[in-house]
Amino acid sequence: MAKNSITLEKLTGLSEQDLAEVFTKNPRAYMAVKGAVAEKHLEHLLIQYRNDGKIKSFTGASGDFDKDFYVTLNDGKTISLECKNIQVINSSTKKILPSYIQFLVRNNYLQENWLLKTFKSMAQKGIIIETDKGINSLNDLLEVILIEKAKTSTELLKFFPQELRESGIPRYEFSTSLIKESDVSKINIDTFIQQFDEHPLSIDFQRTRNSTDDDGDTKKQRFYKLDEIDVVAACLFSRTMKWQFIFGHSKYFTIHKKYKDRYANKFIIQQNKWSSDLLASLEIK
C-alpha cells in the first residue's frame, strides 16, 4: 500500500468494522453516502465500457448542476447520465408489515417475545382498539395488524430500533427475499422488472438541494429540466442487494403536471422502456 494512500481508518479514525456499525445504527448516515457509492460503482462500469471499446470516453461532474457523468459515444455524440438509487420498499403499511415482521424474526433481527410484549403493552395503552383477540403468538399478532386500522402499524413501528424502521440493510434484504432473481444480468430485463409488479420500482427524481430561480420558486428548481438529462442509471441495490444498474432514456420520463418544462419528481419503472445496458437504452423505441 502506498505511503500516502487514503483509507477509511485515516478518514474516520475507525476500523472498517466500526464504520460498518456506525452505518448500521445510523441509517440516515448510510443513506447520505449511498448515493456517492452508487456513483462510484457506475464509474467502474463506465471504465469497463471504455476498456471494452463500447464508448469513447466519459467525464464526471464538476459543478452542482452538472450531471453525474458525460459519456462520449463512439460516434462522437455526448450524452448526459444521471445516477439515482431505486427507492426502498415501503415496509410500514399494514399490508406489508406482517411479512416484514416475519422476515425480521426469521433472521434474528427481532425476537418474538419482544414483539408480543410490545404489542400487549400497546393494547393496554389503548392503541389497539379494533379487536379484543388474544395475542399469544406471532401469528396472533400478525392477524391483529391486518384487522386493525393503519395507525396500529404506524404505532408499532415506533418501537422498532431505528435501523429496522429506516432505509438500511434489513429492509434491502427483505426486498430481495420477495423476488426470485436479484441479478438483472441473468434474465430478460422486462422479466426482471415484472418481479416488482406488486411493489413497483420507483425513483425520487429530483435534486437533493433547493435553489431559487429568477421567479423565486425554490421548489421548481429541484425538478430536472426536460433538456438536461439524456439517460438515468437506476441503481438496484435498495431492492436487490446488488450494485447493478438499469438504464432509462429521458424520452419516457413523465412531465410534471404543474411545471411543463420539468420532469415529475417520482416515476415508476415500467417494462419495455429500460435496459440493463447503457447503449441499448438509447435504441429503445
Q: Could you list the pLDDT tens digit for every one of the 285 residues in the chain?
A: 445 688 888 888 999 899 889 988 888 888 889 999 999 999 999 999 999 999 999 999 877 678 999 999 999 999 999 999 999 999 988 889 999 999 999 999 999 999 999 888 887 887 766 565 677 889 988 888 888 788 888 888 999 999 999 889 999 999 999 999 999 999 999 999 999 999 999 999 888 655 545 555 667 888 988 888 999 999 999 999 999 999 999 988 988 989 889 988 888 999 999 999 999 999 886
pLDDT of amino acid 133? 62
Residues 6+ apart with CB under 8 A from 133: 140, 143, 144, 147
User: Residue ranges of the domains in the chain?
Assistant: 18-88+181-285, 97-166
Q: So what's the pLDDT on residue 248?
A: 95
Predicted TM-score (pTM) of this structure: 0.89
Strand (E) or helix (H) holding 96: none
Question: d(Cα 151, Cα 60) in Å, to the nearest integer?
Answer: 45
**How much is the pLDDT for 212?**
47
For residues 246, 84, 217, 64, the Cα torsion angle rounded to the nearest 10 degrees is -120
d(CA 1, CA 228): 41
- Going 36 to 39 to 264 to 260, the CA torsion angle's sign is positive
Res 127: pLDDT: 75
pLDDT, residue 217, reads 60
